[in-house]
Amino acid sequence: MAIQSVGVIGAGQMGNGIAHVFALAGYDVLMTDISREALDKALNLIEKNLDRQASRGKISTEDKDAAMRRIRTTQQLSDLGQCDLVIEAATERETVKHAIFEDLVPHLKPETILASNTSSISITRLASRTDRPGRFMGVHFMNPVPVMQLVELIRGIATEEAVFKELVGVVEKIGKTAASAEDFPAFIVNRILIPMINEAVYVLYEGVGSVKSIDESLKLGANHPMGPLELADFIGLDTCLAIMNVLHDGLADTKYRPCPLLVKYVEAGWLGRKTGRGFYDYSSEVPVPTR
């Protein structure tokens, strides 16, 4: 089956980026969210990001205009039923994802491929709650989607080989590189990245270093483009904690125990950039460490 139309569930940070890259690659995109405000905000952000690409000579003005024309929005989940590929990019909570699939599945064409952009949750388990475990896969984009080159492709235990090959081709068409990951908690990138961030929070928690010294040490001492605490704020501390909990629950190893300080920040609602405060305070022009 040739994939021509793509449905995107969720107009947040990941959803709008996924819609952006698919529309730019020539796919017809239908993006849905329960919030009209979120959809309007996503369209404005996509246009702004496309303008930035055009100003840098990465795409033409014609490419930008054509991409914007390919994106439609709806608040009705059922409208995605006729799409060839549907990618769920909702919040990283399994109960929310199950509820979305339960509402969506009755409206899908039999041949539609269903995918989740989950960064850590079992693809096999998500697929088992749908009517098409053979046509279900994990398609994990990195943030920010238009910039980052990697897409993790995760097969559940029932995923058909033809579906995997089809999505390898799709990833290639949108100009990304696919990495095949097995269906174990947090897959490849977050299995390595998020425990590193959690360990950085422990270093802060134990007083080994300050926010500034930890981030500078990793940037200058390990050549990381962004310090681990700065990166945690960018990802969202709630997302980091959710992934650590998935690792801890799924692998039953104490080395994945979330740092109590990370838990405390999330309880305080200090989730990073999106709330204006995390390991840094973003209320002024230059972010200021909070510890």
How does pLDDT run across 156-205, given as a tens digit for each residue? 999 999 999 999 999 999 999 999 999 999 999 999 999 999 999 999 99
Asked if omega into 258 is within 30° of 0 (cis), the reply is: no
Q: Does the annotation place 14 within a ligand binding site?
A: yes
Q: For residue 291, is it within any domain?
A: no
As a whole number of angstroms, the distance between CA 273 and CA 94 comes to 24
Domain check: are 22 and 71 in the same one?
Answer: yes
As a whole number of angstroms, the distance between CA 158 and CA 155 comes to 8
Q: What are phi and psi of 184, to 5 degrees?
A: -120, 155
If phi > 0 it is left, if psi is from -120 to 50 it is alpha, else beta; for residue 10 that is: left
Q: For residue 65, is it within any domain?
A: yes
Domain check: are 17 and 91 in the same one?
Answer: yes
Nearest to 190 by CA among 252, 142, 134, 253: 142
What confidence tier does 92 reach under pLDDT thresholds 50, 70, 90? confident
As a whole number of angstroms, the distance between CA 246 and CA 108 comes to 29
Domain check: are 49 and 87 in the same one?
Answer: yes
Name the residues annotated as catalytic.
119, 140, 152, 190
Each residue's pLDDT tens digit, 245-267: 999 999 999 999 999 999 999 99
Q: Does the annotation place 33 within a ligand binding site?
A: yes
- Residue 27 in this model has a pLDDT that exceeds 70: yes
> Which two three-digit tokens encode residue 210?
């300050």
Domain check: are 130 and 210 in the same one?
Answer: no
Mean pLDDT score across all residues of the chain: 96
Nearest to 245 by CA among 127, 139, 128, 120: 120
What confidence tier does 91 reach under pLDDT thresholds 50, 70, 90? confident
Domain check: are 53 and 125 in the same one?
Answer: yes
The CATH number covering residue 250 comes to 1.10.1040.10
| Residue 88 vs residues 8, 19, 30, 125, 211: alpha-carbon distances, Å | 6, 11, 12, 15, 34
Domain check: are 68 and 131 in the same one?
Answer: yes
What confidence tier does 94 reach under pLDDT thresholds 50, 70, 90? very high
Q: For residue 210, is it within any domain?
A: yes
Q: Does the annotation place 26 within a ligand binding site?
A: no
- Residue 13 in this model has a pLDDT that exceeds 80: yes
Q: Does the annotation place 245 within a ligand binding site?
A: no
Q: Does the annotation place 102 within a ligand binding site?
A: no
Q: Does the annotation place 138 within a ligand binding site?
A: no
For range 206-233, the mean pLDDT: 98
Q: For residue 67, count CB atoms less than 10 angstroms from its CB and return exposed for 0-12, middle for 13-18, buried for 19 or more.
A: buried
> Which two three-digit tokens encode residue 108?
């899908």
Q: For residue 275, is it within any domain?
A: yes
Q: What are phi and psi of 65, to 5 degrees?
A: -65, -40
- Residue 80 in this model has a pLDDT that exceeds 80: yes
- Residue 5 in this model has a pLDDT that exceeds 70: yes
Q: Which domain holds residue 47?
A: 5-182
Q: Does the annotation place 10 within a ligand binding site?
A: yes
As a whole number of angstroms, the distance between CA 237 and CA 28 comes to 33
Q: What percentage of residues in the chain have a pLDDT greater than 90?
A: 97
Q: Does the annotation place 274 within a ligand binding site?
A: yes
Q: How many CB atoms lie within 10 A of CB 64?
A: 21
Q: Does the annotation place 57 within a ligand binding site?
A: no
- Residue 21 in this model has a pLDDT that exceeds 70: yes
For range 14-43, the mean pLDDT: 97
pTM of the model: 0.90
Model pLDDT, residue 1: 64
